[in-house]
Amino acid sequence: MNFEDLIAKVKTCGKQKLAVAAAEDDAVLEAVDAAHKQGIADAILVGDEAAIRKIAAELNIDLSDYEIINEPDKVQASLKAVKLAHDGVANMYMKGLLDTKTFLKSVLDKEVGLRTGNTLSHVAVFEVKGIEQLLFLSDVAFMTYPTLEDKVHIIENTV
């Protein structure tokens, strides 16, 4: 399986809505626009609107299909974006130009975060030349000393 196979599978799941915190970043806007053009996801861009528009113009990205919520403060942008996912306005919460500490703090916020009571984990997917399958790495430096029960949750979250 490669990224093309993975994207084909994702396309069968229906279009999703992303809430992007601190969206004023080249790589973030390119990724969001690629997902939009492939019919995978639409996005609500939360962040410094002037910076988002400037970067999009430099990259020739048409923002007419995107909702933009102007919030230049990164902590507040993070909280506003996670609240969109919390409230069901968005299906997913995406990290933009934001430090991981602020991102995770908003995810764990007691009022607007995405707490479920279950183990929090993450997964990264890599396509490496010469290896005929995708590599999935989970919780690299995220959960430093997982218990056996934590490991079970991590595997369940990854699969």
Confidence of residue 6 (pLDDT cuts 50, 70, 90): confident
**Per-chain mean pLDDT for the chain:** 91
What φ, ψ does residue 92 adopt, rounded to 5°?
Answer: -140, 155
Q: How far apart are CA 157 and CA 5, in angstroms?
A: 20
Residue 126 has a pLDDT of 92
Q: How far apart are CA 159 and CA 113, in angstroms?
A: 23
Q: For the whole model, what pTM was predicted?
A: 0.86
Domain boundaries, the chain: 3-107, 123-158
Query: What type of residue sits at position 55?
Result: I
Q: How far apart are CA 99 and CA 85, in angstroms?
A: 19
- For residue range 57-74, what is the model confidence (pLDDT) as tens digits? 999 999 999 999 999 999
What φ, ψ does residue 93 adopt, rounded to 5°?
Answer: -115, 125
Could you tell me which CATH number the domain at 3-107 has? 3.40.50.10950
Residue 70 has a pLDDT of 98
The tally of CA atoms less than 13 A away on the side-chain side of residue 48 is 13
* DSSP string across the chain: --HHHHHHHHHTT--EEEEEET---HHHHHHHHHHHHTTSEEEEEEE-HHHHHHHHHHTT---TTSEEEE--SHHHHHHHHHHHHHTTS-SEEEE-SS-HHHHHHHHT-TTTS---SSPP--EEEE--TT-SS-EEEE-TTTSSS--HHHHHHHHHHH-
Residue 141 has a pLDDT of 66
- For residue range 111-159, what is the model confidence (pLDDT) as tens digits? 998 888 777 778 888 999 999 899 988 877 677 788 898 888 888 877 7
* Tokens 């799941």 sit on residue: 13
